[in-house]
Amino acid sequence: MVLEYKPEKTNQVTDSLSRKAELAAMKIEAVATIERIQSTLPDRIMEGLENDALAKTLMEQAREGTTQRFRIKEGFLITKGHRIF
């Protein structure tokens, strides 16, 4: 039995083994993309809170304890249902 390498262009039926390196590279890229998205989301939320007049008012009320609908946790404005405002 002789194994002969055929480039993907000439090999009409490529199997999973011949694509193993390509898939590994794609997985690494996907993980890096997810990490970037997750790390920027909190920053974007904080930026929105800083630029929103209503959010500023609600945060001030939460700090002063004049509202029970909202609280501040780790810098975020949280509603009673544990949702970020």
User: What is the band of 32 on the pLDDT scale with cuts at 50, 70, 90?
Assistant: low
Q: Name the burial class of residue 78, with classes exposed (0-12), middle (13-18) and buried (19+) by CB atoms within 10 angstroms of its CB.
A: middle
Domain coordinates of the chain in residue numbers? 21-79
CA nearest neighbour of 85 among 58, 64, 60, 66: 58
Count of residues in the chain: 85
Of residues 49 and 81, the one with the higher pLDDT is 49
Instruction: Decide if pLDDT at 66 tops 70.
Output: yes
How many CA atoms lie within 13 Å of 34's alpha carbon, on the beta-carbon side? 6
- At 43, the pLDDT band (50, 70, 90 cuts) reads confident
> pTM of the full predicted structure?
0.51
Outline where 1-85 has alpha helix (H). Answer: 20-51, 53-64
